[in-house]
Amino acid sequence: MSHSHLNHSNDINAVIDAMTYSGMDKNGVLVASKAVVNDNEKQKASLNQYYRDFLERFIVLEAGQRVGINEIEVLALKTKHSEENTIGFKFFTPYFTLSYSADTKYFPELIEQYKNSNILILNVPYVNKEEAKNNLCIEDAIKIIKEVKPRLAILQHFGIEIVKGDPLYLIREVQKATGVQTIAAKDGMVINPLSYSVDRGQRTLQIKPSEQKAEIKEENEYGAKEIQEDAIEETTEEQQETLNQISQTEEPLDVNEAIETKKEENILESNKPLKDILKGEQ
C-alpha cells in the first residue's frame, strides 16, 4: 500500500479480515508506507491494530529500501505527494519488471527510477499541468513514457476531466506521441504480464538445420510458463514437408503442434481402421 489517503487505503482492514478468515488463518504480507502502519500527529494509521495481528508479517518501507518475498523483490520508489511518506513500487520478478508510480507529481528522478521496466503503471488524474499540483497530468505521462520506453504503459486513477474528455481518446494520443503501447485501465481489467517480458518476443517458425531446437513449455509451481530448449530429432521428409506447408500460413505455429496436427489429419484421411492406426503408432 503506497499511502494512507482514503481512496487508496479504505479497504485494507476488510481485505485482511477476508483473506485470513477473521484471523483464524494468519496469512499474507503487507508492504506499506509508514503512515499506513503507524500513527502520526495528523492522523491514525490506516491499518487497525486488531487486524495487524492477523497478518504473517508487515513491512514498512521508505524510498530506496528493498524487500524480498519469495521470488519477488520489491523496491520502494521516491514520490512527491501531499502525504510525505507516499511511496511507489518497483517489482522485480524472474519474468518481468513492473513499476507503479502511486500518487506523485512529476520530477526528473522519476524517469531514472522507472527505467528498465517492462510494464509501467502511472496514476494520472489530470489533463492539464496547471491542475496537477501533487499528481501527474497527461503531459507528464508522455514525458515519462517517452524516456522509460516500457513494453506496455497503463494509465489509471483518472480525475473527472479525463473521464469527461474520454480516456480512450486521450490514451490514443499518448500512444501516438510516445510510440509505446498504452492502455487506459478500467474496472476488472486483466492483463498477462508475461506477454510483455523482454524474453518473450514473438517467435516465428524459422528452422535451420544447424539450429534445430524446439521450445517446450511447462508450468512451474507458480503457474507461470517456463521455456526450456532441447535438441529435437532430425525431421523426417514427411515432417519437413508439413513444416514447409504451415510456414506459408500467416500465423506462426509451434513445431511440435504442427507435426501433431498433420498426424491427426492423416488419421482422418486414412482408410485403415482406427484400431490398426493406433496399434501402428504404439
Q: Measured in whole angstroms, how far is the alpha carbon of residue 10 from the centre of its chain?
A: 24
pLDDT at position 105: 94
What residue spans define the domains of the chain? 6-196, 202-281
pLDDT at position 5: 86
Residue 137 near residue 126 (C-beta atoms within 8 A): yes
What would the pLDDT profile of 115-157 be if each residue is shown by its tens digit? 999 999 999 999 998 888 899 999 999 999 999 999 999 999 9
Q: Look up residue 200 and give its amino acid.
A: R
Confidence of residue 280 (pLDDT cuts 50, 70, 90): low
pLDDT at position 85: 86
Share of the chain above pLDDT 90, in %: 50
Structural Rg of the chain based on CA atoms = 25
Residue 117's CB is within 10 A of a number of other CB atoms, namely: 23
Distance CA 97, CA 120 (A): 9
Residue 126 near residue 162 (C-beta atoms within 8 A): yes
Whether pLDDT at 43 is above 90? no
Residue 27 near residue 56 (C-beta atoms within 8 A): yes
The three cell numbers locating residue 274: 482406427
In 3D space, the residue among 117, 116, 115, 133 whose CA is nearest the CA of residue 125 turns out to be 133
CATH level 3 topology of 6-196: Metallo-beta-lactamase; Chain A (3.60.15)
Over residues 54-65, mean pLDDT: 92
Q: Which residues contact 17 (CB under 8 A, 6 or more apart)?
A: 23, 51, 54
Whether pLDDT at 200 is above 70? no
Q: 187 in the Ramachandran plot: left (φ > 0), alpha (ψ -120 to 50) or beta?
A: beta
Distance CA 232, CA 213 (A): 6
Share of the chain above pLDDT 70, in %: 70
Task: Select the more confidently predicted residue: 12 or 237.
Answer: 12
pTM: 0.68
Residue 213 near residue 230 (C-beta atoms within 8 A): yes
Residue 126's CB is within 10 A of a number of other CB atoms, namely: 22
The three cell numbers locating residue 234: 532430425
Residue 166 near residue 172 (C-beta atoms within 8 A): no
Distance CA 175, CA 150 (A): 12
Distance CA 259, CA 265 (A): 10
Task: Select the more confidently predicted residue: 91 or 255.
Answer: 91
In 3D space, the residue among 35, 34, 44, 36 whose CA is nearest the CA of residue 15 turns out to be 36
Whether pLDDT at 32 is above 90? yes
Instruction: Return the SS3 of 198.
Output: helix
